[in-house]
A and B are shown apart, each in its own frame.
Chain A
Amino acid sequence: MSRSVFSDRHSARLFGAIRYGLLLLAAFLSVFPFFWMLIGATNITADINTGKVTPGSALFDNIRAFVAQVDVPLVLWNSAKIAILGTAVTILVSSIAGYGFEMFRSKLRDRIYTVILLTLMVPFAAIMIPLFMMMAKAGLIDTHLAIVLPTLASVFIIFYFRQASKAFPAELRDAAKIDGLKEWQIFLFIYVPVMRSTYAAAFVIVFMTSWNNYLWPLIVLQSNGTKTITLVVSSLASAYYPDYGVVMVGTVLATLPTLFVFFAMQRQFVQGMLGSVK
Chain B
Amino acid sequence: MDTLPLKTFALRAALAGATLLAAAPAFAGEITIWCWDPNFNVAVMREAGARYTKAHPETTFNIVDFAKADVEQKLQTGLASGTTNALPDIVLIEDYGAQKFLQSFPDAFAPMTGKVDYSGFAPYKVELMTLEGKTYGMPFDSGVTGLFYRRDYLEQAGFKPADLENITWDRYIEIGKAVEAKTGKKMTTQELNNGGMTRIMMQSAGKWYFNADGELDVTGNAALKGALEAQAKMVKAGIVKPATGWNDYVNAFTSGDVASVVTGVWITGTIKAQTAQAGKWGVAPTPRLDMAGSTNASNLGGSSWYVIESSKEKDEAISFLAEIYGKDVEFYQKILADRGAVGSLTAARSGAVYQQADAFFGGEQVWQRFSDWLAKVPPVTYGIFTNELDNAVTANMQALIAGKPADEVLKDIEAQAQTQIQ
Contact = CB atoms under 8 A, between A and B. Distances in A.
B40 A240 contact: yes
A163 interface: no
B21 A129 contact: no
B66 A231 contact: yes
B147 to A, nearest CB: 21
B251 A141 contact: no
Contacts of B62: 223-224
B17 interface: yes
Interface in A229-268: 231, 234-241
A69 B46 CA distance: 14
Interface stretch (B80-88, B98-106, B236-244, B373-381): B80-88
A239 B38 CA distance: 7
Interface stretch (B67-75, B131-139, B180-188): B67-75
B23 A235 contact: no
Given A85-B17, A218-B73, A235 B86 contact: no
B86 A144 contact: no
A173 interface: no
Contacts of A50: 251
A274 interface: no
Given A136-B85, A234-B67, A239 B39 contact: yes
B223 to A, nearest CB: 28
Interface string A148-189: 100000000000000000000000000000000000010000
Given A85-B17, A235-B36, A235-B65, A129 B80 contact: yes
A148 B17 CA distance: 11
A271 interface: no
Interface of chain A: mostly helix, strand, loop or mixed: helix
Interface residues of A, number: 38
A144 B83 contact: no
A140 B67 CA distance: 23
In this complex, the member of B20, B36, B86 whose beta carbon has the largest number of chain A beta carbons within 10 angstroms is B86
A218 B88 CA distance: 14
Contact of A129 (B20, B32, B81): B81
A140 B82 CA distance: 16
B22 interface: yes
B391 to A, nearest CB: 21
In this complex, the member of B23, B32, B40 whose beta carbon has the largest number of chain A beta carbons within 10 angstroms is B23
A269 B3 CA distance: 31
B421 interface: no
B66 A132 contact: no
Interface string B47-85: 000000000000000111111111001100110111101
Interface in B138-155: none
In this complex, the member of A132, A141, A222 whose beta carbon has the largest number of chain B beta carbons within 10 angstroms is A222
B36 A219 contact: no
B199 to A, nearest CB: 17
Contacts of A85: 17, 20-21
B23 A143 contact: yes
A37 B117 CA distance: 49
B77 A238 contact: no
A133 B17 CA distance: 23
Given A129-B77, A145-B18, A240-B266, A235 B24 contact: no
A236 B37 CA distance: 7
Contacts of B36: 235, 238-239
B22 A218 contact: no
Nearest to B14: A89
B270 interface: yes
Contacts of A231: 66, 70
Contacts of A21: none
Interface string B192-223: 00000000000000000000000000000000
Contacts of A148: 21
Contact of A226 (B24, B37, B251): B24
B247 interface: yes
B292 interface: no
Given A129-B77, A144-B21, 12 more contacts: A128-B77, A130-B81, A132-B83, A133-B82, A143-B23, A143-B24, A218-B70, A224-B65, A231-B66, A234-B70, A235-B67, A237-B67
16 contacts: A89-B14, A130-B81, A132-B86, A136-B86, A141-B83, A142-B86, A148-B21, A218-B66, A218-B73, A223-B64, A226-B24, A235-B65, A238-B70, A239-B40, A240-B37, A241-B270
> Which A-B residue pairs are the 3 nearest by beta carbons?
A238-B67, A145-B21, A136-B83
